[in-house]
Amino acid sequence: MSLLDLLRRGAPPADAPPDSPDPAPESSHIPIGGLVEIRDVHKSFGDLEVLRGIDLTLAPGSVTAILGPSGSGKSTLLRTVNHLEPVSQGLISLDGEVIGYRRDGDLLHELPEREVLRQRTRIGMVFQSFNLFGHMTALQNVAEAPRRALGTPRPQAEARARELLELVGLSEKAQAFPRQLSGGQQQRVAIARALALDPKVLLFDEPTSALDPELVEEVLAVIRSLARAGTTLVIVTHEITFARDVADTVVFMDRGVIVEQGPPDQVIDHPAQERTRSFLQRVRTGEQDPPPEDAPAPAAEAGTAPSAAPVPSRTRPEDPS
């Protein structure tokens, strides 16, 4: 059963009020998302280490919200999951398949670009800046990925794109160009585009940060529908109330490490770590968090998963031939 089928069965319209009751499910919840395993992931840009040993398991169909101040490594972590940023150390896998590399005994060979692109068809990403093609209509933006990545014929790709635009409440905007759409509408087109390949995992990088406040809820309503459908979602967000309502797990990051993780009522309502409490207090009062300091990595605190064993060494990308 496709993601689109599940969304049709279980999700209210995208423009439904946020407190609308969920429709009764026709059958038991069927997770269709993928299992993501992140093991001892480090990422450096030159001398700056942005991720300092991240360990995280995202169960199939789970919803994980990642919180943290600017510069904590949240977006970088998200971009490593689909190999937009290759890791400096560690492993990330989806349903047991290492992302970006082929394993050969104790060596990891970086995959050629065409293989990485194949893996990315299973991992959708929605960026905070929409990233729509300005010269294409909403319909063309959504249909482009299946045509290019899967070779789907234009009629089938466009028919599916129309269904997805209807799903996100934009069927009447199919022929509109991005410049003719509001920020909230553009982000909903971007979500429809990410869904077009039936991904196992959807990554959201601050999906509402570029929107006017009155447009935020229309995007959050679509994400709530996706959460109910069983896709594995990973959401970097500053919307604390939304994270509490939709997430199974909340992760708080600071200075490239996981400070605390657990259920929303634990991490958001009763955080164990002082750094988490301080951050949430600043968010709730609207106070700016201090800029990150260029300081040594803090020791892992309670709630941080133990580091994995050393990973195999890497080689350069394989010859495509």
Residue 106's pLDDT is 78
Residue 309's pLDDT is 40
Place of tokens 């028919």: 159
Determine the Cα–Cα distance for residues 305 and 85; give it in Å rounded to an integer. 22
CB 228 within 8 A of CB 52: no
pLDDT exceeds 60 at position 278 = yes
Q: Categorize the per-residue pLDDT at 286 as very low, low, confident or very high, splitting at 50, 70 and 90.
A: confident
Residue 3's pLDDT is 52
Q: Categorize the per-residue pLDDT at 263 as very low, low, confident or very high, splitting at 50, 70 and 90.
A: very high
Segment 126-152 mean pLDDT: 92
Torsion of CA 179, 7, 247, 168, to 10 degrees: 20
Residue 290's pLDDT is 57
Question: How long is the chain?
Answer: 321
Mean per-residue pLDDT over the chain, rounded:
83
Least confident of 31-45, 228-242, 304-318: 304-318
Percent of the chain residues past pLDDT 70, beyond the cut: 79
As given in the structure block, the two tokens for residue 149 are: 């990545």
As given in the structure block, the two tokens for residue 236 are: 């970097």
Q: Categorize the per-residue pLDDT at 229 as very low, low, confident or very high, splitting at 50, 70 and 90.
A: confident
Place of tokens 């423009």: 15
Question: What does DSSP assign to residue 73?
Answer: S
Residue 214's pLDDT is 80
Residue 313's pLDDT is 54
Q: pLDDT, tens digit, for every residue of 171-223?
A: 999 999 999 999 999 999 999 999 999 999 999 999 888 788 888 888 888 88
Residue 129's pLDDT is 85
Query: Taking each helix axis from N to C terminus, what angle separates 183-195 and 154-167, rounded to the nearest 10 degrees?
Result: 130
Q: pLDDT, tens digit, for every residue of 27-61?
A: 333 447 999 999 999 999 999 999 999 999 999 99
Residue 149's pLDDT is 87
Cβ-proximal residues to 184 (8 Å cutoff; 6+ apart), any chain? 211, 212, 215, 216, 218, 219
Q: pLDDT, tens digit, for every residue of 67-99?
A: 999 999 999 999 999 999 999 999 999 999 999
CB 137 within 8 A of CB 174: yes
pLDDT exceeds 70 at position 275 = yes
As given in the structure block, the two tokens for residue 112 are: 């050629």
Residue 292's pLDDT is 52
Residue 24's pLDDT is 34
Q: pLDDT, tens digit, for every residue of 6-19?
A: 455 444 444 455 44
Place of tokens 């997770």: 31
Higher pLDDT, 107 or 52: 52
Q: Pairing state of beta strands 201-205 and 48-58?
A: unpaired
Place of tokens 């047991």: 96
Segment 251-273 mean pLDDT: 97
Does the model's pTM come out above 0.85?
no
As given in the structure block, the two tokens for residue 139 are: 């319909």
